[in-house]
C-alpha cells in the first residue's frame, strides 16, 4: 500500500473516532435538554462513526499496515439553541467528506484501485450523512419553534435504530 494513502487512512481512523466522540457530546447535550429522540439520533450516529473507524482499522490491518491511535481532542458543544449542534454536525460531516475525498484522490494518484474500491462505500455513506444532517436541520427549522411539533419530531427520532454497515472486509 502506498505510504501516503496508508497515512491518510490512519489519520482518518482518528478523525472517525473524534466524530463519535463529538456526537456523544451532542447526544449528551440533547439528553440534558430532555430531547430523548435527538439524544438517540446522535447516539446512533456516534455508533456509526465508531464502526467507520473500525472498518478502516481492519482494512489497514488486512493490508499489513500499522495502525496508530492518536489522542482524541475534547469536543465542544456549540453554544446557542437546539439548532446549533445540528448545524455543527452538518459542518463536521462536510469536513469528513473532504477528508475522504482527499484519501480517494491520493489512492487514485497512487493507482491503488483496491483502496479506491474500499473507499467507494465511504464516499456514498458521506453523501447520506450530509443529507441526513441537512434533513434534520430543515425539520428543526420548520417544526422546532412549536412545542407540539418539536415533541413529535423528537418522538420520530427516538425510533432510529443502529444498523451496522454491511461492508465486508
pLDDT at 168: 53
Maximal C-alpha separation, the chain: 54
Cα 80 to its chain centre, rounded Å, is 22
Residue 131 maps to a domain: yes
The range of the structural domain enclosing residue 21 comes to 3-158
pLDDT at 165: 76
pLDDT at 79: 79
Distance (Å, whole) CA 59 – CA 1 = 11
Query: What b/e string do you get for 4-41 counting C-beta neighbours within 10 Å, with b at 16 or more?
Result: ebbebbbbbbbbbbbbbbbbbbbbebbeeeebbbbbbb
Residue 163 maps to a domain: no
Contact 3, 106 (CB under 8 A): no
- Overall number of domains in the chain: 1
pLDDT at 167: 61
pTM: 0.93
Residue 164 maps to a domain: no
Report, as ranges of residue numbers, the positions in the chain whose pLDDT lies below 50. none
Distance (Å, whole) CA 39 – CA 105 = 35
pLDDT at 58: 96
pLDDT at 159: 95
Nearest Cα to Cα of residue 57 among 100, 12, 23: 12
Residue 167 maps to a domain: no
Contact 116, 107 (CB under 8 A): yes
Residue 88 maps to a domain: yes
Residue 169 maps to a domain: no
pLDDT at 164: 80
Residue 103 maps to a domain: yes
Mutual angle of helices 84-109 and 113-143, in 10-degree steps? 160
* CATH value at residue 72: 1.20.1260.10
Nearest Cα to Cα of residue 165 among 118, 113, 114, 121: 121
Nearest Cα to Cα of residue 86 among 159, 147, 142, 164: 142
Residue 165 maps to a domain: no
Query: What b/e string do you get for 133-162 counting C-beta neighbours within 10 Å, with b at 16 or more?
Result: beebbebbeebbeeeeebeebbeebeeeee
Amino acid at each position: 500500500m502506498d505510504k501516503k494513502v496508508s497515512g491518510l487512512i490512519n489519520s482518518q481512523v482518528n478523525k472517525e473516532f473524534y466524530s463519535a466522540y463529538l456526537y456523544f457530546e451532542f447526544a449528551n447535550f440533547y439528553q440534558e435538554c430532555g430531547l430523548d429522540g435527538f439524544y438517540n439520533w446522535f447516539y446512533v450516529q456516534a455508533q456509526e462513526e465508531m464502526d467507520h473507524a473500525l472498518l478502516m482499522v481492519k482494512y489497514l490491518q488486512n493490508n499489513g499496515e500499522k495502525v496508530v491511535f492518536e489522542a482524541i481532542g475534547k469536543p465542544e458543544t456549540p453554544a446557542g439553541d437546539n439548532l446549533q449542534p445540528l448545524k455543527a454536525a452538518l459542518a463536521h460531516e462536510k469536513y469528513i467528506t473532504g477528508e475522504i475525498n482527499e484519501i480517494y484522490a491520493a489512492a487514485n494518484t497512487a493507482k491503488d484501485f483496491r483502496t479506491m474500491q474500499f473507499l467507494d462505500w465511504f464516499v456514498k455513506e458521506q453523501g447520506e450523512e450530509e443529507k441526513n444532517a441537512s434533513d434534520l436541520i430543515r425539520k428543526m427549522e420548520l417544526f422546532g419553534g412549536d412545542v407540539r411539533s418539536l415533541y413529535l419530531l423528537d418522538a420520530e427520532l427516538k425510533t432510529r435504530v443502529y444498523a451496522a454497515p454491511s461492508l465486508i472486509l
